[in-house]
């Protein structure tokens, strides 16, 4: 039996660059995978079904919850987001580390259900920089930017509940910090 993979809860407000950090981290390893969440939100331009998210209807989402197939789920800015349980179970049993890129309410559920999980919270260098990044993305209208910014400021208050906080001032540096965290956690459990 291989050692079980780590379950990593990876949170941070949108606009912190956590997607880029994750992309770089995942590109360089085949022993870490990202769980593909289900969501009722509409795809943004360039997003692919089954890769970025499983884009499903509200009814489909509710039926996954009813069948007990969600490890966790939460409502965020008017849409449902959730982690399908099957792949997480399958991969961690094979010794693959699984990253859940989820918001804080879902993060708290996972931490409670899976006390062995590791919480990593990504912070922007500052709130001003976060606002600049949210606007610069150009995918959301002004009302959505304001809503996301307010949510982000609230979310940042939850950083203390995580085992580690990583400031994304530089992508390569942040990725290196996360690699070190994962190596140390593995050594602890080894």
Give the annotated binding-site residues for ATP: 12-19
Interacting positions 22-51 with ligand 5GP (CB under 6 A): 37, 41
Among 7, 64, 103, 119, binds ligand 5GP (CB under 6 A): 103
| CB within 8 Å of 140: residues ≥ 6 apart | 134, 148
Nearer to ligand 5GP, 14 or 92 (CB): 14
Query: Is 116 buried (19+), middle (13-18) or exposed (0-12) by CB count in 10 A?
Result: exposed
**Cβ-closest position to ligand 5GP:** 106
User: Shortest Cβ distance from residue 80 to ligand 5GP (Å)?
Assistant: 8
Place of tokens 């849409």: 79
Q: How far apart are CA 104 and CA 40, in angstroms?
A: 18
Q: 55 - beta bridge partners?
A: 39
Nearer to ligand 5GP, 78 or 115 (CB): 78
Residues that bind ligand 5GP (CB under 6 A): 14, 37, 41, 72-74, 76, 81-83, 101-103, 106
């Amino acid at each position: 039996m291989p050692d079980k993979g780590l379950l990593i809860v990876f949170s941070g407000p949108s606009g912190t660059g956590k997607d880029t950090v994750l992309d770089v981290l995942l590109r360089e390893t085949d022993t870490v995978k990202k769980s593909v969440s289900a969501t009722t939100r509409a795809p943004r331009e360039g997003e692919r079904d089954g890769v970025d998210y499983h884009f499903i209807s509200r009814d489909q989402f509710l039926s996954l919850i009813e069948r007990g197939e969600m490890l966790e789920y939460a409502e965020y800015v008017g849409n449902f987001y959730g982690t399908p349980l099957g792949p997480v179970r399958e991969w961690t049993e094979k010794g693959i580390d699984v990253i859940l890129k989820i918001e804080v309410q879902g993060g708290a559920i996972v931490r409670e259900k899976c006390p062995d999980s590791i919480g990593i919270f990504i912070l922007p260098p500052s709130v001003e920089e976060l606002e600049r990044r949210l606007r610069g993305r150009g995918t959301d209208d002004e009302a959505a930017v304001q809503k996301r910014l307010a949510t982000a400021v609230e979310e940042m208050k939850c950083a203390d509940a995580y085992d580690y906080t990583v400031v994304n001032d530089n992508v390569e540096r942040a990725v290196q910090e996360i690699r070190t965290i994962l190596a140390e956690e593995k050594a602890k459990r080894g």
